[in-house]
A and B are shown apart, each in its own frame.
Chain A
Amino acid sequence: QVQLQESGPGLVKPSETLSLTCTVSGGSISSYYWSWIRQPPGKGLEWIGYIYYSGSTNYNPSLKSRVTISVDTSKNQFSLKLSSVTAADTAVYYCAREVNGTPGVWGKGTTVTVSS
């Protein structure tokens, strides 16, 4: 059964770049769409974007100028970079795998705080 695990710094300074990695176990990353989704404290879910294993991407228009999602099939990982972060980017960040056309298998999430 496929499992996803997010990893990365829990604290990022304002104006710097947030970098997270999602490691996929129990299955190959070489198929499906792989997404990043976030949830600010006490708020709802926001889709950040997805990548297909081949490398094609699609990003949330509101974040597009700051987001890069990449995939490393040799490591069975995909990654998120979000540049020029502010306090508004403080959130729990989830990675997820597509199931039947929607994010269906989720990691447990990792909390990222933007603060100096």
Chain B
Amino acid sequence: QSVLTQPPSVSEAPRQRVTISCSGSSSNIGNNAVNWYQQLPGKAPKLLIYYDDLLPSGVSDRFSGSKSGTSASLAISGLQSEDEADYYCAAWDDSLNGYVFGTGTKVTVL
């Protein structure tokens, strides 16, 4: 039972834009950095966004992150078939004194 809530799935056509939401609280998103991970089928997660909106070296700029209050979002523009994966948000939770992951969102390219 994660404290960060994401939609189970989103789908969109190629070359379109999708947005994934991540809802939390003042003890996690509201007070700490949000990070996003992409997990391709059968693979380990890969860091996609850190500190709310920063891209690690080598990550496509089609990915972007944002945060407002106790919610965060990941946007994928110019959707490609290779973007089909599970996406997780994550943040430190001050109340739990631990790192929490979101429930995960499966992105399907139609």
Contacts and interface: CB of A to CB of B under 8 A. Distances in A.
Interface string A87-114: 0000000100001111110111100000
Contact of A101 (B37, B50, B56, B100): B50
A58 interface: yes
B101 A44 contact: yes
Interface of A is mostly: strand
Nearest to B46: A106
Contacts of A101: 33, 50-51
Contacts of B54: 100
B104 A45 contact: yes
Interface of B is mostly: strand
Nearest to A35: B99
B47 interface: yes
A104 B101 contact: no
| Interface size range on B against A | 20 to 34
Contacts of B88: 44-45
Contacts of A103: 47, 99
Contacts of B90: 45, 47, 102
A24 to B, nearest CB: 15
A68 B60 CA distance: 37
| Interface size range on A against B | 20 to 34
Contacts of B21: none
A102 B35 contact: yes
Contacts of A44: 2, 88, 101-104
B97 interface: yes
A100 B99 contact: no
Contacts of B44: 94, 106-109
Contacts of A47: 90, 98-101
Interface of A: 35, 44-47, 49-50, 58-61, 94, 99-104, 106-109
Interface of B: 2, 33, 35, 37, 43-47, 50-51, 54, 56, 88, 90, 96-104
